Amino acid sequence: MPVLLLNASYEPLRVISWQRAICLQLADRADLIEEVADRTLRTSGGAEYPFPAVVRLREMVVVPFRRGAAPITRRALAYRDDGMCQKTGCDRRGSTMDHLLPRSRGGQHTWLNVVLMCGEHNNAKGDRTLEELGWTLKAKPVTPTYDNLYLDRAQVLPQWRRWLGRDHPTERQAS
């Protein structure tokens, strides 16, 4: 079950696993803010802990890229492209980062020029463009924001709504 992680300022940061939330609490790095009703965690030693729904860090974390586009990483690209090869008709996992306009031909390393592809299609494409091969993409590449990548994918729990706010994209989807 996912847990919403808040900054010390109560601003949503990301979604983490319940195991990570418990570790942060036990290390005195986070406080439990909201819990899942009727659910507890029991250790083999007999200790009981409330099941976390929302935790807040005790110290402020600065996230410099938070307001604009997220940096391009393999993990972020996998989130954006659902982990799948973006060539139309392919149902394999995407394992490589492909530049639509190859860098050898002046293509930039930007969100709009990078997609996830399986190794087979990336090798077949080489330094050519999609148009030269007659290929199409499943979806047009977009530039995601930090919130799109790390908060929209998660299941929104009722306990999160007051922390996400009405203008948050996840809140609009849940309504």
Domain boundaries, the chain: 1-62, 64-156
Contacts of residue 119, defined as CB under 8 A and 6 or more positions apart, other chains included, come to 95, 96
C-alpha atoms less than 13 angstroms from C-alpha of 44 in its C-beta half-sphere = 0
Distances in Å between the Cα of 134 and the Cα atoms of 76, 106, 121, 131, 153 are 27, 20, 13, 5, 32
Condensed to tens digits (0 to 9), the pLDDT of residues 86-103 reads 999 999 999 999 999 999
The band of 171, judged by pLDDT with boundaries at 50, 70 and 90, is very low
The band of 166, judged by pLDDT with boundaries at 50, 70 and 90, is very low
Q: What pTM was estimated for this model as a whole?
A: 0.57
Q: Can you give the pLDDT at residue 155?
A: 64
